[in-house]
Amino acid sequence: MKYIYRIQAIVSKELIQLKRDNMTFAMIVMIPLIQLLLFGYAINTNIRHIPVGVVDYSQTALSRVLKQTVSATQVVTFNQEYLNVKQGEAAIASGEVRAIFVIPEDLSQRLARHQTIGFASPPATDEETSRPVAQWIVDGSDNVIAAGLKSLRNMPLAELLSKPVNRSTSTFEVTLLFNPEQRTAVNIVPGLVGIILTMTMIMFTSAAIVRERERGNLELLINTPVQPIELMIGKIIPYMFIGGVQVFIILTLGHLLFKVPISGGLMQLALATTLFITASLALGLLISTIAKNQLQSMQMTLFVLLPSILLSGFMFPYEGMPDIAQNISEILPATHFMRLIRGIVLRDAEVTAMGYDMYWLTLFTLGGLVIASLRFKKNLD
Amino acid sequence: MSELVIQVNNLTRKFGDLTAIQNLNLDIEKGNIYGFLGPNGCGKTTAIRMLTGLLKPSAGTVQVLGFSLPKDAEKLRMHIGYMTQKFSLYDDLSVAENLNFIAKIYGLPRTQQKQRVNQLLDTYELNPQAKQLAGSMSGGQKQRLALAAAVLHKPKLLFLDEPTSAVDPENRREFWEQLFDLSDQGTSILVSTHYMDEAERCHKLAILEQGIKRADGSPNDLMQQMGAHVIEIAAMDLRQLKQELIELPDVISAAQIGARLRVLIKKAITEPLNYLSQQAVVNPEASLSLVRPSLEDVFVTCTGDSRQ
């Protein structure tokens, strides 16, 4: 029974200290709130209004209509005109525009012979007669921007000449489940739960034992009958509640502001997040037993945080990573949680169907706690 | 001979090339207040840490309350109290919260916990500060809180590492009264200090220097068995006289105390007064008198040996 007493003692001590630490207390609420608003609105992979310039060698009514048709797609905004391609390329290099739209002198001829809208019948196919109507010169260094412009490659031009739109049949039909409107926030918000928990949970606990050492409290603690595992568990429990509060804030606001559907069961959600919170806390404690001071524990937290953001599948799909990166990604608890929470929140998946990820998080938590307890020596050697 | 609470044989501790404690032997009897007297860095804290099981000895054996260390350190914890040199309770917890925390850690049942904490608040006059944060208290109040926390579980043996280094003389007096109260109730106490007046209050003490025990025994025995005569000289120009006297081979040390010069002379000189008055540097009109040795003289004599 004494161990319950001792764990309880550590928990209530941590809670009192937390209550007195206004800054930390504010961060618990403000971090998820601000990050959610920031990322929810900021991260967007649907590119709109890319600033571009135009080099119009044609200078005809037709070229102006072509420009308007392109601009009507909202993918680009024409805000510069250049006299020649050279000037335009210089503007791309200086970052003034992302691409230039080059309209050739013989625009009307090219249009007339174009295979989909041209007047030639049967459509011309050889190189001589079938040429693109105009050219995009694009800053290809950012492939998301480049992909946005590439999507214009086959834009229909029928409207341009007030012709009826050709009904073409796609090779494949694609049905999008769960996020048919392709809104980025739907994928980002549940992922953000994982990132914010990684950040706050590891940060809080990684400082936990280091702080006691820095303030001299550790010499007192190790002279008492308290056992390392009791200390670890006692330090984790308060933060589990805090993690729960943060998850609640993110998902509720995500649902209200960004209309992220919460399809899965709340029990499933609670199970997966609790497991992830404990895994992050265990990792934080482990860092805490390695770091010598709070600055070191902060640096180690960042060392874990960056891969968790970039490799967990939060920003870039796991499937696109090379094997080595996938292996690193598999070690991170954030990766497994990313799959779990997206599964539960967006696809109404059952945790039992994602047993592997649950398994790994459990293993990680237990392993982390045991190693942290073993590393925590009750002496000053 | 009464029961021993601490028995140490040839205890040695090295930190790399530095030997912090060298071949220390101690027999500390139950119910005593035992003092470690020595300058900063002489190994007092290292010795205490080894006796509480916080540091592993490089060599030698340690028996505390019958437990051999460091093997049984965990079993010993319930029976000892330890007041660290630096205040180690939580600054951001109130006095009562700190004591309640310690009570729970030591597994006191809820009813006893409240009773014991109230009792300690009374004994150590901390009732007015019960709700105050520990970090905002004065040195003396912090020290009383630390002592209260160290004795909360009624340990048989109490370790105090320089407990009075941050408090004023008034508080030191009261603090020692409280130590004698504890001693009277049967608690054995080991206290380290660099104050002579405090060392003099101990039942027994050991003088440590550079990790080596130079002398031990009761303050009175130490003063009587001291290997030096103490002579006080009242004369003019004491600074000059001091410089000249310490050059003499049989003079251990000379220190100015107000208008007099306190000179320690080796025991080998049988007639110290004559010896001194015959020295050319001593003005024939100066008044010389043989005085009772103090603990400081003992300390200087013991530790002076090693430097010569």
- Are B190 and B161 in contact by the 8 Å Cβ rule? The answer is no
Give the Cα separation of B85 and A220 in Å (integer): 11
For residue B143 the two structure tokens come to 């020290």
Question: Which residues of chain B does A218 touch, with a Cβ-Cβ cutoff of 8 Å?
Answer: 88
Domain membership flag for residue B306: no
Of B223, B256, B271, the one marking the end of a domain is B223
Last residue of a domain, one of B165, B200, B223: B223
Instruction: Please give the tally of structural domains in chain B.
Output: 2
Helix (H), strand (E) at residue B275: helix B272-277
**B258 found inside a domain:** yes
Q: Which of B88, B97, B104 sits opposite A6 (nearest CB)?
A: B104
For chain B, give the longest Cα–Cα distance.
76
In a domain, B195, yes or no: yes
Whether residue B264 lies inside any domain: the answer is yes
Pair type for strands B188-193 and B33-37:
parallel
Which A residues, 287 through 326, put their C-beta within 8 Å of a C-beta on chain B? none
Say how many C-beta atoms besides its own lie within 10 A of residue B180's C-beta.
12
> How far is the C-alpha of B187 from the C-alpha of B160, rounded, in Å?
12
Determine the structural domain holding residue B11 and report its residue range: 4-223
Q: What is the pLDDT of residues A109-125, one digit of tens each?
A: 888 777 666 554 555 55
Residue B154 forms part of a structural domain = yes
In this complex, which of A16, A226, A379 lies closest to B105 when CB atoms are compared? A226
What would you report as the CA-atom Rg of chain B, rounded to the nearest whole angstrom?
A: 23
- The side-by-side arrangement of strands in the sheet containing B251-257 is B251-257, B260-266, B228-234, B287-290
Q: Do B105 and A6 touch (CB under 8 A)?
A: yes
For residues B254 and B276, state if they share a domain: yes
pLDDT of B302: 81
Is B303 a domain residue? no
Average pLDDT of the residues in B189-194: 91
Q: How far apart are CA B24 and CA B140, in angstroms?
A: 32
3-state secondary structure of A184: helix
Flag if A379 and B97 touch (Cβ within 8 Å).
Answer: no
> Which pLDDT value is given to residue B308?
35
Contacts of A222 in chain B (CB under 8 A): 54
**For residues A361 and A279, is the Cβ–Cβ distance under 8 A?**
yes
What CATH number does residue B133 fall under? 3.40.50.300
**Residue pLDDT, tens place only, B7-20:** 999 999 988 888 88
Per-residue pLDDT tens digits for B76-109: 999 999 999 889 999 999 999 999 999 999 988 8
The crossing angle, in degrees rounded to 10, of helices A2-20 and A22-42 is: 70
B97/B231 same-domain check: no
Contact B88 A219 (CB under 8 A): yes
List the alpha helices (DSSP H) in chain A.
2-20, 22-42, 61-72, 85-93, 107-113, 143-150, 184-206, 208-214, 217-221, 228-258, 266-290, 294-310, 323-331, 333-347, 355-375
Q: Are residues B210 and B240 in the same domain?
A: no
Report the residue from B49, B77, B101 with minimal CB separation from A9. B101
Same domain, yes or no: B143 and B279: no
Report ipTM for this prediction: 0.81
Q: Name all domains of chain A by residue range, CATH numbers in brackets.
A: 2-43+183-375 (no CATH), 50-161 (3.40.190)
B74 Cα to chain A: minimum distance (Å): 7
Does B90 sit within 8 Å of A17, measured CB to CB?
Answer: yes
The answer to whether B122 contacts chain A (CB < 8 Å) is no
For residue B178 the two structure tokens come to 């409280």
B205 - beta bridge partners? B35, B217
Minimum Cα–Cα distance from A228: chain B residue: B74
Claim to verify: residue B113 and residue B65 sit in the same structural domain: yes
Q: Calculate the CA B88 to chain-centre distance.
A: 19
Nearest to A220 among B53, B55, B84 (CB): B84
Chain A residues with CB inside 8 Å of B78's CB?
A: 225
Touching B: A residues 20-39, CB under 8 Å: 20-21
Best of B51, B105, B147 to disrupt the A interface (most A CBs within 10 Å) is: B105
Q: Is B88 close to A216, i.e. CB distance below 8 A?
A: yes
pLDDT at B95: 94
**How many residue pairs bridge chain A and chain B with CB atoms within 8 Å of each other?**
76
Using CB atoms, which residue from A16, A224, A379 is nearest to B105? A224
Spatial contact of B43 and B208, defined as CB atoms under 8 Å apart: yes
Reading phi first (left if > 0) and then psi (alpha if -120 to 50, else beta), residue A37 is in alpha
pLDDT class of B71 with cuts at 50, 70, 90:
confident
Three-state DSSP class for residue A348: coil
Give contacts of B77 with chain A, Cβ < 8 Å: 223-225
Question: Is B78's CB within 8 Å of A225's CB?
Answer: yes
Q: Which residues of A277-304 are buried (b: 16+ CB within 10 A; e: fewer)?
A: bbbbbbbbbbbbbbbeeeeebbebbeeb
Identify the H or E element spanning B201.
Answer: helix B196-201
Contact state of A216 with B86 under an 8 Å Cβ cutoff: yes
Question: Has residue B307 been placed in a domain?
Answer: no
A222 and chain B: CB distance < 8 Å anywhere? yes
- A27 CA: distance to closest CA in chain B (Å): 19
Judge if B98 and B242 occupy the same domain. Answer: no
B237 and B219 share a domain? no
Do A196 and A254 contact (CB within 8 A), yes or no?
Answer: no
Task: For residue A6, give the nearest of B78, B79, B108 by alpha carbon.
Answer: B108
Q: If you average pLDDT over residues B247-257, what whole number do you get?
A: 84
* pLDDT higher than threshold 60 for residue B204: yes
For residue B106, list chain A residues with Cβ-Cβ distance below 8 A. 224-225
- pTM of the predicted model, to two decimals? 0.81
Q: Taking residues B240-264, what's their average pLDDT?
A: 84
> Rounded mean pLDDT of chain B?
87
Q: Is B195 on the interface with A (CB under 8 A)?
A: no
Residues B35 and B22 in one domain: yes
Inter-chain residue contact B105 with A9, CB threshold 8 Å: yes
Does residue B51 have a pLDDT over 80? yes
The partner residues of A100 in beta bridges, in order of sequence, read A53, A137
User: Do the domain assignments include residue B298?
Assistant: no
Q: Are A379 and B70 in contact (CB < 8 Å)?
A: yes
Least CB-CB distance to B55: which of A217, A226, A380?
A380
The verdict on B54 and B170 lying in the same domain is yes
Q: What is the DSSP letter of B87?
A: -
Residues B191 and B236 in one domain: no
Average pLDDT over residues B100-128: 92
**What is the residue-level pLDDT of chain A in tens, covering all 381 positions?**
778 889 999 999 999 998 888 888 888 889 899 988 988 888 777 788 899 999 999 999 889 989 998 998 888 999 889 999 999 999 999 999 999 999 999 888 888 777 666 554 555 556 655 678 889 999 988 888 888 888 888 787 766 666 666 666 777 888 888 888 888 888 888 998 999 999 889 988 888 888 888 888 988 888 898 888 898 899 999 999 999 999 999 999 999 998 888 887 888 999 999 999 999 999 999 999 898 888 999 999 999 999 999 999 988 888 989 999 999 999 999 999 999 999 998 888 888 888 899 999 999 999 999 999 898 887 777
pLDDT at A160: 67
Q: Contact B84/A6, CB-based, under 8 Å?
A: no
- We report the CATH number of the domain holding residue B265 as 3.30.70.100
Same domain, B101 and B232: no
- Tell whether B31 and B158 lie within a shared domain: yes
Length of chain A: 381
The answer, for B56 touching chain A at a CB cutoff of 8 Å, is yes
Q: Among B189, B223, B257, give the residue marking a domain's end.
A: B223
With a CB cutoff of 8 Å and minimum separation 6, the contacts of B190 are: B6, B28, B34, B35, B36, B48, B51, B157, B158, B159, B160
For residue B238, pLDDT beyond 90: no
Name which of A220, A226, A229, A235 to mutate to probe chain B: the one with the most chain B Cβ atoms within 10 A of its Cβ: A220
